[in-house]
Amino acid sequence: MISRYFDRLLNTPAQSFFLFGPRGTGKTTWVNHQFPKAYRVNLLNESLYQAYLADISQFANELRTLKPDSWVFVDEIQRLPNLLNEVHHFIEEKNLHFILTGSSARKLKKAGVNLLGGRALFKRMYPFLPGELGPDFILDKVLTYGSIPLVWNAADKKETLKAYIEMYLKEEIKAEALVRNLPGFVRFLPIAALLHGQTLNISGAARNAGISRTTLDGYIEILEDTLMVFRLPAYELKLRLREKKHPKLYWIDPGLVRAVNNRFGDVYPEEKVALFEGLVATLLKAYRDYDDLFDEFYYWSPASSHNTEVDFLLKREDSFIAVEVKTSQRITGDHLKGLRAVAELKGVKRRILIYPGEKKMLTEDQIDIWPFDFFCEVLGRKGLWEGMS
């Protein structure tokens, strides 16, 4: 099967950059397409990896043969972080430009290696977005299997998802020796799937999982560093430490949530709420990173009410956009409770409810009700902040 190439929304940098993203998100395909003449160094090639491991000067000797201003593509840089010292040298001395891709930032962080002191940008690659797939995007299909390119382009998505999790455990976790107790980490993954879209209370989750708080926190850090999950903080004004709320946890792709929970068939109604909300969370995170659409985002839950919440609060300078996600086809007043409460927050310029229906609506108190497809269209044309005073 020949995989179709989809244009990605990631802008092509004009200077050296790191590009991180989970395995299978198409980093190598994108680099090969955007930089067809770059000199390639693939650290997944075991013989090359072993040669550099035995004598790192071989890497420098190869770079000396290149002309100034040449581009160099180093794939899976986390396998040999010490190469970054040579990268730094050749950026300075020969004006070479580097593309440094990886599926994990953990070894780079742990090793405390030279991260080039601002000489290279940091970029991220995400699963396919609706704006990249265009008419090929089908919401139910994405909620069922996700949109990681490796899976999306596969003839048998179920088996590819199963193999993806095995590959992640073998190549990311075991091969890089990220955990001492691999069976324990494997047992933890379904628990992490249940935390998708939930407020993350480490102590409570550890008790429920029957493992220590330190162990569970370490496992979640591994998922973060291998770019499988991210935490979304609560928006809070100046509170004492004991009053601070826990962050929420989101997986980067709905297919991964289901795969680690061994679910591959149709999406159950009880799954859909978290999967749909998580998809929107990933879209927002991707558009922030790709297009600087906003500065930061949070979830909002006022201290005065335990039952009121808004899924996402986007911040740009001193302005906010509140976003609520619902899976119901019919929107009622109860669905708008959080968005009505957040209107009291200073700086809120727009309130949006996203749902999988077809009609665009506007309430008397100026809450936008948008179909998911229209929301994606607005994101694509960078129109979230349009028409706001």
| Rounded Cα–Cα distance for residues 103 and 165 (Å) | 14
What class does CATH assign to 130-272? mainly alpha
Q: Are 76 and 102 in contact (CB under 8 A)?
A: yes
E strand or H helix at 77: none
Look at residue 177 in the predicted model and tell me its pLDDT.
Answer: 66
Mean per-residue pLDDT, 337-342: 96
Q: What are phi and psi of 188, to 5 degrees?
A: -75, -30
Strands, sheet with 97-102, edge to edge from the N-terminal-most edge strand: 39-42, 71-75, 97-102, 17-20, 121-124
Residues in Cβ contact with 35 at an 8 Å cutoff, skipping those fewer than 6 apart: 71, 73, 99
With bands split at pLDDT 50, 70 and 90, how would you rate the model's confidence at 325? very high
Sole residue written with tokens 């558009």 = 287
Residue 305's pLDDT is what? Answer: 66
What is the per-residue pLDDT across 101-145, written as a single tens digit (0 to 9) for each?
A: 998 877 776 655 556 666 789 999 999 999 999 999 999 999 999
Which tokens is 248 given?
């929420």
pLDDT of residue 241: 43
Does the pTM surpass 0.85? The reply is yes
pLDDT, tens only, 56-72: 999 999 999 999 999 99
pLDDT digits (tens, 9 = 90+) for 241-264: 444 689 999 999 999 999 999 999
Residue 1 has pLDDT above 70, yes or no: no
Give the range among 20-34, 98-112, 122-136, 363-377 with minimum mean pLDDT.
98-112
Spelled out in words, what is the top-level CATH class assigned to the domain 17-124? alpha beta
pLDDT band at 353 (very low <50, low <70, confident <90, very high): very high
pLDDT band at 197 (very low <50, low <70, confident <90, very high): very high
pLDDT average, residue stretch 301-327? 90
Contact 231, 249 (CB under 8 A): yes
Q: For residue 72, give the nearest of 81, 80, 83 by alpha carbon.
A: 83
Kindly state the helix (H) or strand (E) to which residue 110 belongs, with its residue range.
Answer: helix 106-111
What is the amino acid identity at position 205? A
Q: Nearest to residue 98, comparing CAs of 122, 79, 80?
A: 122
pLDDT tens digit string along 87-97?
A: 999 999 999 99
- Percent of the chain residues topping a pLDDT of 70: 93
- Domain coordinates of the chain in residue numbers? 17-124, 130-272, 292-380
Is 292-380 a domain of CATH 3.40.1350.10?
Answer: yes
